[in-house]
Amino acid sequence: MKDFKIITVDQVGIGDRVSRITKRSVKNEAKIHGLRMALNMIDLTTLEGADTINKVKQLCYKGMHLHDAYPDLPTVAAICVYPNFVGLAKEQLKGSGINVASVATAFPSGNSSLEVKITDTKMAIDAGADEVDMVISRGKFHQGEYNYVFDEIAKIKETCGKNVRLKTILETGELGSLDNIRRASDIAMHAGSDFIKTSTGKISPAATLPVTLVMLEAIKDYYYETGIQIGMKPAGGISNSKLALQYLMLVKETLGDKWLTNQWFRFGASSLANDLLMQLEKQRSGNYQSKDYFSKD
């Protein structure tokens, strides 16, 4: 494994940069463009113990028909479910162009053997998953066993093969510092992840702007170093349009146009879509909207 130079991050400095970006004012056509982009970048997600066949079906329908009252809306990027619902989702989404993403590797804790994690991953892939969202072993990370973490990611990527994209969840809320988030990002990218992702959604804090900025900077450095483009997925806690646009502004100013597509940037979210839709309707009609007019699935 590569000998990772520790790249340090100053939290206050990150905060300064984030606050510069969040003060960007996104209005009118720029706002509409941003809202549409954000919709198209959503991994519409349900990851509950209580998930059922009908819940997943409804979610898939929503992903394809976000708000039929509004013409020419994009769809979401993917539907994200547990491995046992992958087959169902795949079938529901047939022909829609929407991917199926599955969490795997003993999600959300990641506390299991490598064998089980590989089996879990295989199960999702065999059922037709286009993307796998794995979790890293945070315990091993805290024990300083970076090679273990690296090797595990590399093995899962090997299981995924070329065609299934691997999104590696760092569970940043458990890593304890921005320095660690940077280090985990570097490990995940070097080990072969296609995406790095902040959170499972099960731990608070989930995605934040400072954490995302740290990860975007890591992606940028890796890109310059290797020429390999890595995607970014903040997940959890992004539920309104203003925040989503701020995330996109981070991407715009850190990585630029190449990343402003759902090939390279995703939001892991469940309730964000409706807020984006409300804002789009507001832009179109000029009236502030009520949640009662948008379907909740």
Partner 1 sequence: MSKKETKLNLKSNWDLAPSLESTSHVKLKNKYDLFIGGKWVKPSSGKYFDTINPATEEKLASIANGNKKDVDLAVKAARKAYDTTWSKLSGKERGKYIFRIARIMQEKAKELAVVETLDGGKPIRESRDIDIPLAANHFFYYAGWADKLDYAFPNRNPKSLGVAGQITPWNFPLLMAAWKIAPALACGNTVVLKPAETTSLTTLLLAEIIEEAGLPAGVVNIVTGAGDTGAEIVNHSGIDKIAFTGSTGVGKIIQNAIAGTDKKITLELGGKAANIVFEDAPLDQAVEGIVNGIFFNQGHVCCAGSRLLVQESVYDIVLRKLKDRMESLIVGNPIDKNTDIGAINSKSQLDTINHYIKLGKEEGAEIYQPEGKLDKKGYWCKPTLFTGVAQSNRIVQEEIFGPVLAIQTFRTIEEAITKANNTPYGLSAGVWTDKGSKIFNMTSQLRAGIVWANTFNKFDPTSPFGGYKESGFGREGGLHGLEAYLSFEN
Partner 2 sequence: MSRIEVLKTYKMYIGGKFPRTESGRYYSLKNTKGEEIANMCTGSRKDFRNAVVEARKAFELWSNRTAYNRSQILYRIAEMLEGRKAQFIDELMQIGSTKKQAENEVFTSIDRLIYYAGWADKYQQISSSVNPVSGPYFNFTIQEPTGVVAVIAPEENGLIGLVSTIAPIIVSGNSCIVLASESKALCSVSFAEVVNSSDVPGGVINILTGNAEELIPHFSTHKDVNSMLYCGNDKKATQLIKENSTTNLKRIVVKKDIDWMKNENESPYFITKFTEVKTTWHPIEKIGASGSGY
Alpha helices in 43-85 (DSSP H): 53-64
Q: What gap in Å lies between CA 122 and CA 160, rounded to an integer?
A: 8
Per rule CB under 8 A, is residue 87 in the interface with partner 2?
Answer: no
Q: What amino acid occupies position 153?
A: I
Structure tokens at 170: 């760092």
The contact pattern for partner 1, residues 203-242, with x = CB under 8 A and - = no contact, is: --------------x--x--xx-xxx--------------
Q: Which of 60, 170, 184, 255 binds partner 1 (CB under 8 A)?
A: 255
Rounded least distance, CB 217 to partner 2, Å: 14
Neighbouring residues of 6: CB distance < 8 A, sequence distance ≥ 6? 179, 183
94 labelled catalytic:
no
Q: Which member of 133, 186, 194, 275 is catalytic? A: 133
What is the closest distance, in whole angstroms, from the C-beta atom of residue 218 to partner 2 in the complex? 15
**Spatial separation of the C-alpha atoms in residues 266 and 40, rounded to whole Å:** 8
Q: Does 30 bind partner 1 (CB under 8 A)?
A: yes
Is the CB of residue 116 less than 8 Å from the CB of residue 108? no
Residue owning tokens 């991953």: 121
Query: Can 197 be counted among the known catalytic residues?
Result: yes
205 binds partner 2 (CB under 8 A): yes
What is d(CA 90, CA 82) in angstroms, rounded to the nearest whole number? 12
Element (H, E) at 141: helix 138-142
208 lies in the binding site for partner 2 (CB under 8 A): yes
Residue 220: active-site member: no
206 is a contact residue toward partner 2 (CB under 8 A): no
By the rule CB under 8 A, 176 interacts with partner 1: no
User: Residue 252 interacts with partner 1 (CB under 8 A)?
Assistant: yes
Measured at the CA of 218, the angle between CA 217 and CA 221, to 5 degrees, comes to: 85
Using CB under 8 A, list all residues that contact partner 1: 7-10, 12-14, 16-17, 20, 23-31, 33-34, 37, 217, 220, 223-224, 226-228, 248, 252-253, 255-258, 260
- Positions marked catalytic: 133, 197, 233
